[in-house]
Structure 1
Amino acid sequence: MSSSRSRRQDPGWRRPLLLLLRLLLMGVGLGVISGSALKMLAPQVQQGNVTLPAWLNLDLLQGAALTPGRQPQTTNNASTMATSLGRFETKEEITALSQRWRALAAAEKDLQASAFLLKLDDGRYAELSPDTALPAASSIKTPILLVALELLDAGDLSWNEPLTLSKTTVGGGAGWMASKPLGSRFPTHEVATEMIRVSDNTATNLLIERVGGKELLNQRFNALGLSATVVNNWLPDLEGTNTTSARDLARSIALVDTGEVLSTRSRDLFREVMGTSRTNRLLPGGLLKGLGGEQGEPDDSLMVKGYRVLNKTGDIGIAYADAGLIELPDGSRAVAAFLVKGPFNDPRSTELIRSMAAAMAPVLKPKPPLPRKSPKTVAPAPPQP
């Protein structure tokens, strides 16, 4: 009787509370089991021994095995794009071209040369002293453009932001902005374009100042893996103290095209600006010669042959450079860069760059398509009597 009375007097909240506690205990247990499984699976997935469904992020597995307090990395658009487009990665040397470059450079004893080619879609490459730091001249404007577009992606720079001409940023030589009154303001997109289009030195100085100055710019170059690329002086740097290498110049272009650094929007802006360059007598001219073209042909001759070169040159008399992205007729892409240091205004310097660019032509020609086999014709069966 008393037991029956006590059951009737039980409060109604006890049963839901017990159910809630059971559910919590089950959740904790499943979490422990899942965490242990993730820790065991992480090394296997990294080694490729286990295939995961597409919705399961590998970074989550890696995060499960991390030390406490460390957050798992998240996948970004740049890395996804890089996977689909290829990466700046050397796989197989084109030894015949590397040897040809060495022979061309060896024939000019008092010239110092650096060259690098990488086919982005298959990793084949050729090189000649690719990491030797040489005077960059105006070719340094390509990695400067890259850093400026990084700021744009980060939201720290607007493409229409006005940059103000000061006494510090006025630079002689190429370009027209130096002729404008101090205090003149130019939108960033015009500054970046004129830096490449007519190699405006004042425009370059405006961007160097805007990205934080030479020291911060050099730190960013180093973070991007451009170890030989250093800005020591405002432009024009006629003494050649600003340096880079053939590999660095090629890398600064490839990192954009493969999507490893910039967003799709900024990558398109980079191509648009690089496409305005007016000087095509070195890398493009040499490649055209190697493809059977004649010097002095119209600027669109490469386009007619199915090639497009987005390049930026450099010329300070004692050093010449050219580097660019090469889009091939079959849709594949390559980056190439050349630097030569020698006697002042020596025509052999520019001719060496053209000769090395011409030597690339056989490597960059698309393979002819395999002949299609014509279907076998079967003689009709004779009519039945």
Structure 2
Amino acid sequence: MANSRSSRRAAGWGGPVRLILRLVLMGVGLGLLTGTGLRLLAPRVQKQEFPLPSWLADQAVITTLLGEAVEPQPADESTKVEQDASAAAKGLQQARFAPTVEIKALSNRWTELAAQQSDLQASAYLLILDDGRFAAMHAERPMPAASSIKTPILLAVLELLDQGTLQWNEPLTLTQELVGGGAGWMASRPLGSRFPTYEVATEMIRVSDNSATNLMIARAGGMEQINARFQVLDLPATVVNNWLPDLDGTNTTSARDLSRAIALVDSGEVLGPRSRDLFREVMGTSVTNTLLPTGLMRGLGGAQGAPDDSLARKGYRVYNKTGDIGLAYADAGLIELPDGRRAVAGFLVKGPFNDPRSTELIRQLSAAMAPHLKPIPAPPKP
């Protein structure tokens, strides 16, 4: 009987004790959570990014509640944060097509080289994307585009892919109207042949297939619609007036437009990551490297040979597309530098039919860029 009464007394005290312990633990936990939360919110409170009740709006109350968590930042630290943000914003701007300071020495050198062939019309443009430095010579003058217009056409088609109105494996049908002579092999296939879009886009750049180009123009909505897109992209000199091969040179572009089209893609201003990767992959298949890449290799000096291999040994890579209709030549591309920076450049020359001076002038203009595309030396290891 005594044991039974003792057990009941123990049981009677156990309940309140456990309740008190739970309340204490809950209080400690809530205190920790509240303190942590206030500490985390403190910076936002200080910057007035977090709305507070009117009774907490007073700075003295905030300081009392949060203590050191809301102490004002030192002036020098605040200034540093603002400088870092400004630098980041400036870097973002510089990565886009944003010319800032002209490299006058290069612009003047281009003018001197072109003046040596006064019966040739030449246009040139260079923009270093990372710092905005540029050089230009008649850069906005419309000139016969030849096959160089295939680069902005590729951009316009990949925009459709981004919009979801085109599938990369969508079959395109060859019709009589779209058969283009000259470069490429698709013209030799029977009418009604169907090719996946990825093959058409690649052959347009790889071997400059004219029938493939016409298929791309048609898929983009035709000449009028693709020209309207070029205007929206701020490519005013770029106009498709005729199906390829356009041996009369009625299709036009400019050195600045070609450079801008490539820069828009590389900076991510117009295409998503996947389409941007496809653009670079397709541009990387181009087999003609006798103009811009050869000229740049010449300007850099050292070991010569196959342009792509020689440039790669020096840490350079050029994604380019040429144009050649006899009376006009062109080349434009993205240039990767050994230090990770990138530049875009475009060149067009018009002259007598099949005059070797035209292609040589593009190589000379490209070579003149080399001193301005040298890598920034890496800092020494500590």
TM-score (ref. length: structure 1) = 0.74
1:59-93 Cα offsets, whole Å, 9 max, x none, are: xxxxxxxxxxxxxxxxxxxxx9x938711001111
d(CA) in 2 for partners of 1:113, 1:198? 25
Q: Secondary structure at the match of 1:90?
A: coil
Quick one: percent identity of the two aligned structures?
Answer: 73
Please state how far the C-alpha of 1:301 moved relative to its aligned partner. Answer: 1.1
1:10-39 Cα offsets, whole Å, 9 max, x none, are: xxxxxxxxxxxxxxxxxxxx9xxxxxxxxx
d(CA) in 1 for partners of 2:203, 2:249? 21
Contact 2:293 2:307 in 1 (8 A): no
2:61 equivalent in structure 1: none
Residues 231, 294 of structure 1: alpha-carbon distance in 2 compared, 3 angstrom cutoff: farther
2:203 equivalent in structure 1: 194
2:30 equivalent in structure 1: none
Contact 2:124 2:138 in 1 (8 A): yes
Please state how far the C-alpha of 1:186 moved relative to its aligned partner. Answer: 0.1
1:357 equivalent in structure 2: 366
Contact 1:282 1:354 in 2 (8 A): yes
d(CA) in 1 for partners of 2:313, 2:346? 23
Stretch moving more, 88-97 or 360-369: 360-369
d(CA) in 1 for partners of 2:259, 2:376? 24
- Letter of the aligned partner of 2:175 in structure 1? S
Q: Secondary structure at the match of 1:92?
A: coil
Count residues in correspondence. 298
Following TM superposition, the consecutive aligned residue runs of length 4 or more in structure 1 with deviations greater than 6 angstroms are none
Please state how far the C-alpha of 1:356 moved relative to its aligned partner. Answer: 0.5
Rg (Cα) greater in structure: 2
1:177 equivalent in structure 2: 186
Q: Secondary structure at the match of 1:168?
A: helix
Hey, which of these two has a bigger chunk of helix by percent? Answer: 2
Q: Does 1:297 align with 2:322?
A: no
Contact 1:149 1:266 in 2 (8 A): yes
- Letter of the aligned partner of 1:220 in structure 2? R
- Letter of the aligned partner of 1:251 in structure 2? R
d(CA) in 2 for partners of 1:323, 1:181? 33
d(CA) in 2 for partners of 1:91, 1:299? 30
Alignment of 1:204-215 (within 5 A): 204-215=213-224
- Unaligned 5+ runs, structure 2: 1-50, 52-78, 80-88
Contact 1:88 1:255 in 2 (8 A): yes
2:151 equivalent in structure 1: 142
Q: Does 1:324 align with 2:333?
A: yes
- Letter of the aligned partner of 2:99 in structure 1? T
- Letter of the aligned partner of 2:281 in structure 1? E
Please state how far the C-alpha of 1:370 moved relative to its aligned partner. Answer: 5.1
Contact 2:303 2:310 in 1 (8 A): no
1:87-132 Cα offsets, whole Å, 9 max, x none, are: 1001111110000000000110100011000000000000000000
d(CA) in 2 for partners of 1:236, 1:247? 22
Q: 2:295 aligns with which of 283, 286, 292?
A: 286
- Letter of the aligned partner of 1:106 in structure 2? A
Q: Does 1:243 align with 2:252?
A: yes
TM-score (ref. length: structure 2) = 0.75
1:59 equivalent in structure 2: none
- Letter of the aligned partner of 1:260 in structure 2? E
Alignment of 1:66-105 (within 5 A): 83=92, 86-105=95-114
Q: CA RMSD in A?
A: 2.1
d(CA) in 2 for partners of 1:226, 1:247? 8
Contact 1:85 1:259 in 2 (8 A): no
Please state how far the C-alpha of 1:369 moved relative to its aligned partner. Answer: 3.7
- Unaligned 5+ runs, structure 1: 1-29, 31-50, 52-79, 374-385
Contact 1:285 1:295 in 2 (8 A): no
